[in-house]
Every structure is written in structure tokens, then in C-alpha cells.
Amino acid sequence: MNIQATKLELIRMITDIQSEQLLESLKQLLKEAEIEDKNGERAHALSREETELLTAINEGLPDNVHSRFMELQAKQKEGGLSEKEHQELMGLVDQVEALEAKRLESMIALAQLWNISLEELRERLGIKAPEPHVW
């Protein structure tokens, strides 16, 4: 497997992370805060910064862009990409990489804000780390 194919496979795995898992984890955190409030304890409201970071973490590719990315990637595996499609795929790869970099930066910032490790943040939000890939 060449480096480009490996890179595309890693990006595909990252884009397959289910946003629904993150949403469910966020809902659970909010429910816990509500329960604490009902029990007379001080609920921990999210700050504006926390809200912005969580929004950035949950941001994904628009459905039509994700579908096109997956379509082009499948076509590439079959060996049937035209030069124009290849260029389009490379542009989408750049888009995905930028989005994932922003997502990781936001995760790191939120972990620092909450004074926890990145791994603990992943656990709290229900975000699975991509499987390690051997070159």
C-alpha cells in the first residue's frame, strides 16, 4: 500500500467517526448537570469557550461533501479515477485534514480547560481514537 492510499484510508477512518456518539455523550453530560441541579447541587453550566470548543469538535463535513469523498475514494480503490476526479479527491483530502486538525486543536484546548488528559476527554465525550495504522 503506498503512502497516498494509506493517507486516504486513515482519513476515511477518521471521517467515519460517528458524530452521534459525541452528541449522545454531550446530552449525557447535560443530563448529569440537570440532575445535580435538581439535587440542590450547583450545576456546571458550560462557558462560552467550552460551548465553542464542543461545537468545533462536533463539526463534520457536510453530508454531500462526505458522500462525494467516499464515492471518489471507492472509485480510486477500483482504479477508475480520472485526473479531474483525482484532483477533486485531493482537494477533499485537504478539506478533511484541515477539519480534523481543527477538531484535534479544539479537543486539546478543551482538555486543558477542563484540566484533564486528551484520553480522558475522549472517554467523556465518547470519541474513539482511530485505530493505529502500521505503514
Q: What is the rounded distance in angstroms from the CA atom of residue 25 to the CA atom of residue 18?
A: 12
The distance of Cα 120 from the centroid of its chain, to the nearest Å, equals 16
For the whole model, what pTM was predicted?
0.62
Q: How do residues 21-54 score in pLDDT, each as one tens digit?
A: 666 666 666 666 655 555 555 445 678 898 899 8
The distance of Cα 38 from the centroid of its chain, to the nearest Å, equals 32
Q: How do residues 2-25 score in pLDDT, each as one tens digit?
A: 555 555 554 555 555 545 566 666
Q: How do residues 53-93 score in pLDDT, each as one tens digit?
A: 988 888 888 888 889 998 998 998 888 889 999 999 999 99
